[in-house]
Amino acid sequence: MSEDVATKWNGRYSAEGVQWQTSPPRDLLLSFVDRLPASGLALDAAAGVGVNGLVLARRGLHVVCLDVSEVGLRLAREQARRENLWLETAVYDLSHPWFPPACFDVILNFRFLERATFPMYRRALKPGGWLLFETFVRTPETHTDVDFYLLSGELSAAFADFDVLHDEELTRVNGRSGQPKSTAQLVARKPGDLD
């Protein structure tokens, strides 16, 4: 993990924490939350202030939030305590992920891309476990670090052997920048015969 990345996000969450905490959960999660299990263990990867993980904790899941920002995770823990929810946090470098096999019932990955997580998510989901993934797709207008953008079709190809319930690439105007952003969305369940 780059200290610069952690410093950047700690600074943003220190200055804008309330704004981040009051932002709504991802629409993709809200569209499927009623179909997700109401118990078990969930992972919120690159959780930030835990807005999405808290949705799962309110549903009844035990949630583990991972992020590079200790400030964001502290805000998530404080909110969980106020609501008496089961939510644990850990500062974690997702560029070198390791998770035990078949331990999570749900994995969330929103607005974050680290390709090294793909095989780990596959391994860490229980059979029948849910993956909800949404992140940015590279376009001809992408001028920032292209390593943080999927190629078109890359996400669906990485989980093609899962039971796919939703797979879409779309372009919307980003609320913060006002610029169009393309994203890939995937909701899929791990089949019972994958290890």
pLDDT in tens, 75-130: 999 999 999 999 999 999 999 999 999 999 999 999 999 999 999 999 999 999 99
What's the predicted TM-score (pTM) here?
0.90
Domains of the chain: 3-14+25-189 (3.40.50.150)
Tell me the average pLDDT across 131-157: 84
Residue 43 or residue 144, greater confidence = 43
CB 99 within 8 A of CB 120: yes
Its sign, for the CA torsion 170, 167, 142, 178, is positive
d(CA 54, CA 76): 8
10 confidence band (pLDDT: 50, 70, 90): low
| pLDDT the model gives residue 75 | 93
Amino acid at 163: D
pLDDT at 195 over 60: no
pLDDT of residue 125: 98
Amino acid at 182: S
Q: Of 28, 43, 2, which is closest to residue 134 (Cα–Cα)?
A: 28
What confidence score (pLDDT) does residue 175 get?
65
> What is the Cβ-side half-sphere exposure of residue 87, based on CA atoms within 13 angstroms?
29
pLDDT of the residue at 81 = 96
Is residue 38 classed exposed, middle or buried when 0-12, 13-18 and 19+ CB atoms within 10 A define those classes? Answer: exposed
* The pLDDT of residue 3: 73
- Per-residue HEC secondary structure of the chain comes to CCHHHHHHHHHHHHHHHHHHHCCCCCHHHHHHHHHCCCCCEEEEECCCCCHHHHHHHHHCCEEEEEECCHHHHHHHHHHHHHHCCCEEEEECCCCCCCCCCCCEEEEEEECCCCCCHHHHHHHHEEEEEEEEEEEEECCCCCCCCHHHCECCCHHHHHCCCCEEEEEEEEEEECCCCCCEEEEEEEEEECCCCCC
